[in-house]
Amino acid sequence: MDYTHQTALIPCGQDKYMPKSELLLHLKTYNLYYEGQNLQLRHREEEDEFIVEGLLNISWGLRRPIRLQMQDDHERIRPPPSSSSWHSGCNLGAQGTTLKPLTVPTVQISEVDMPVENMETHSPTDSRGLKPVQEDTPQLMRTRSDVGVRRRGNVRTSSDQRRIRRHRFSINGHFYNHKTSVFTPAYGSVTNVRINSTMTTPQVLKLLLNKFKIENSAEEFALYVVHTSGEKQKLKNSDYPLIARILQGPCEQISKVFLMEKDQVEEVTYDVAQYIKFEMPVLKSFIQKLQEEEDREVEKLMQKYTVLRLMIRQRLEEIAETPETI
């Protein structure tokens, strides 16, 4: 990549810009950190617009359950199975005569056993566990909705596996099932979406929800940059999440991008976050010192205005005693 000096300005939010040269330095550091991994970012010029594109890691930070769609959007209705198949419920003779119907196996809808080698590895937590996964979490696999799937045993052919991967992504091994369609993703588990630097926060949210076929509205969620210090910064609708990630740096042990409920999380500024990890006795001592300092400042102000009030009163008395001049 050519990281030559550039003087153009790049938008990074509403009424916020930064020099292209500065962004390129951040981008170079970012790509060096992820050297040899698929999280490296690319940049290009398109109609005099500087565009960065690549994968953005997003951690699940939901506290309430989400619902998966029952069917994929624009899913085509499949034609009836071949007449020679047991799915048709009948068997045709050589001359096209109908023979005695075959016995149709019992149809059961249940959780499809996910292939071990294709499942994403996650930390051993329940749906609300707080243990995050490592940065090298494998990619989430594609799975097919199991509505109407007939169990034929525990062994699948390679063609079955290909059909499963074509339909939808799974979230921690969850896909649509009448038993598991409503669930809460493990807190801190990681997924990613391929975006570019021109996509705003609402666009990234809609892309993420569409990827996993989530029925919930994008208006319910927000993206937050969460630091290990406890600082939480909500990305505005006018912000560009990929630019924000680049500027925060590549190390997710320092900060991560979280998907959270908009009405469940409050922003925490840096000034507040630096006190969060202190024990209560230490915080009380801080409060006591601040109170003492405030009392001293109040006393100084009272003395200052008391002196001013006396000076004004003395001046008024002098004016009153002075005879009027004609």
Q: Which CATH number fits the domain that encloses residue 205?
A: 3.10.20.90
- Full-model pTM: 0.58
Residues of the chain with pLDDT under 50: 1-6, 75-152
252 and 285 in a single domain? The answer is no
Task: Domain of residue 316: give its range.
Answer: 273-321
Residue 104 lies in a domain: no
pLDDT digits (tens, 9 = 90+) for 243-254: 999 999 999 999
Question: Last residue of a domain, which of 248, 265, 282?
Answer: 265
191 and 239 in a single domain? The answer is yes
Distance set, CA 266 to CA 217, 226, 232 (Å): 20, 11, 8
State whether the Cα torsion 298-301-306-309 is positive or negative.
negative
Number of structural domains the chain divides into:
2
220 and 280 in a single domain? The answer is no
193 and 216 in a single domain? The answer is yes
Instruction: State both tokens at 224.
Output: 């937050």
> What is the reported pLDDT for 144?
43
255 and 283 in a single domain? The answer is no
> What is the reported pLDDT for 273?
64
> What is the reported pLDDT for 162?
60
248 and 304 in a single domain? The answer is no
> What is the reported pLDDT for 230?
83
Residue 19 lies in a domain: yes
- In order, the DSSP letters of 72-83 are -TTPPPPPPPPT
> What is the reported pLDDT for 125?
43
> What is the reported pLDDT for 275?
67
> What is the reported pLDDT for 101?
45
Residue 112 lies in a domain: no
189 and 243 in a single domain? The answer is yes
Q: At what angle do helices 241-248 and 20-33 cross, to 10 degrees?
A: 70
Pairing of strands 255-261, 49-60: parallel
Residue 210 lies in a domain: yes
Q: Can you tell me the distance from the alpha carbon of 150 to that of 170, in angstroms, rounded to the nearest whole number?
A: 19
Residue 51 lies in a domain: yes
304 and 257 in a single domain? The answer is no
φ and ψ at 84, to 5 degrees?
-80, -5
Residue 108 lies in a domain: no
> What is the reported pLDDT for 281?
84
247 and 291 in a single domain? The answer is no
Residue 204 lies in a domain: yes
Residue 141 lies in a domain: no
202 and 252 in a single domain? The answer is yes
> What is the reported pLDDT for 155?
65
14 and 58 in a single domain? The answer is yes
227 and 293 in a single domain? The answer is no
> What is the reported pLDDT for 130?
40
